[in-house]
Amino acid sequence: MLITAKKRKSHSLFNKSQISINLSLILFIVNFFIFSANQNNPFFKSIKSSLNLTPYSLNFLLNSLSNGADSVHQYFHFKKTLIQENNDLENRLYLLKNKLLLQENFILDYQELMNKLEIKEQYFDNSVVAKILKINYSGKRHHFLINKGLSDQIQAGNIVVDDRGILGQVIDVQTDQSTVKTIRSKDFYLTGYIMIKDKPYLTLVQGDNQNLTINYFSKNTPIQINDSIYTTGDDMYIPENIRIGKVVKLQQSELKDFYKVIIQPASNPNAQKYLIVLK
């Protein structure tokens, strides 16, 4: 009734010409049956499962993306926290190392002090151990300030020694501190002797701001490099037989028959923190 013969010829499901009303109606009815039919059978289920992208699965995708973003954020946050903790730990390590270094310094100080006290007890009854306060005191080279003075019965002229030999002499005394001039000073003179083949040879030693020198020493004396020189002592302050240094160089002096002897002092004031002042 609805489908005319003319239209039936020209319209079909795959035809791209104008859609037929009758065909649409038939398809509508067919679709309605499909829609009303029970779609729980395996055929529909398999098609649906292969196509299904329900909102819930999209929601799941969005949630996963959100979780992923969260994880990335957490990762960077964790990394930042770790870096911060690492920095804190490094700071603490630095402080601890400083503390340890300080403690090591204390221990070294203590050992040095004990060493000096032992030397004092063994060799110099009438002496006092003093701490170096400043080096090159008042801008003068080879001058020290020590923490003992008149209150410890220190006098100008007292000799100062370390564990290797004579170091200098007290030149100025105040109540609680004194100034020491080292034997390397240019205007420092000292009498000493060199033992050559069990025979002492007396000489005058002078500082030259770097080492000590004997300006004229006879070439007839068989002096050798590494020969040691000791104090002869005097009646006032300088005790005898304290090591001054050793011969390191024999130079030609202005006089033909004499050497200029360079002596390296045994003491090393820059490596010391404590000295022994002989009273």
Number of residues counted as binding another protein (CB under 8 A) = 32
The CA distance from 120 to 128, in Å, is: 7
Whether the CB-CB separation of 231 and 166 falls below 8 Å is answered with: yes
Residue with Cβ nearer another protein (4 or 218): 4
Longest Cα–Cα distance in the chain: 155
Q: Two tokens at 117?
A: 């006290």
Residue with Cβ nearer another protein (44 or 123): 44
236 touches another protein (CB under 8 A):
no
Whether the CB-CB separation of 167 and 269 falls below 8 Å is answered with: yes
Out of 1, 42, 55, 241, the residue judged to bind another protein by CB under 8 A: 55
16 touches another protein (CB under 8 A):
yes
Residue with Cβ nearer another protein (24 or 252): 24
Out of 8, 10, 19, 78, the residue judged to bind another protein by CB under 8 A: 19
41 touches another protein (CB under 8 A):
no
Contact window for another protein (CB under 8 A) among 7-15, 83-91, 114-122, 241-249: 7-15
Contacts of 160 (CB under 8 A, 6+ apart): 130, 146, 166, 167, 168, 169, 170, 180, 275, 276, 277, 278
Helix (H) or strand (E) run with residue 167 in it: strand 166-173
1 touches another protein (CB under 8 A):
no
Out of 14, 187, 202, 251, the residue judged to bind another protein by CB under 8 A: 14
Considering the complex, what minimum distance in angstroms separates the CB of residue 14 from another protein?
6
Contact window for another protein (CB under 8 A) among 22-30, 73-81, 94-102, 155-163: 22-30
196 touches another protein (CB under 8 A):
no
In three-state secondary structure terms, 239 is coil
Q: Where are the alpha helices (DSSP H) in the chain?
A: 5-10, 21-36, 42-51, 55-123
44 touches another protein (CB under 8 A):
yes
Q: Which of 112, 134, 115, 135 is nearest to 123 (CA)?
A: 115
Considering the complex, what minimum distance in angstroms separates the CB of residue 1 from another protein?
16
Whether the CB-CB separation of 229 and 263 falls below 8 Å is answered with: yes
Out of 4, 8, 10, 24, the residue judged to bind another protein by CB under 8 A: 24
Phi then psi dihedrals of residue 108, to 5 deg: -60, -45
Contact window for another protein (CB under 8 A) among 18-26, 76-84, 146-154, 262-270: 18-26
The CA distance from 32 to 5, in Å, is: 26
Site of interaction with another protein (CB under 8 A): 13-19, 21, 23-25, 27-28, 31-35, 39, 44, 47-48, 50-56, 58-59, 62
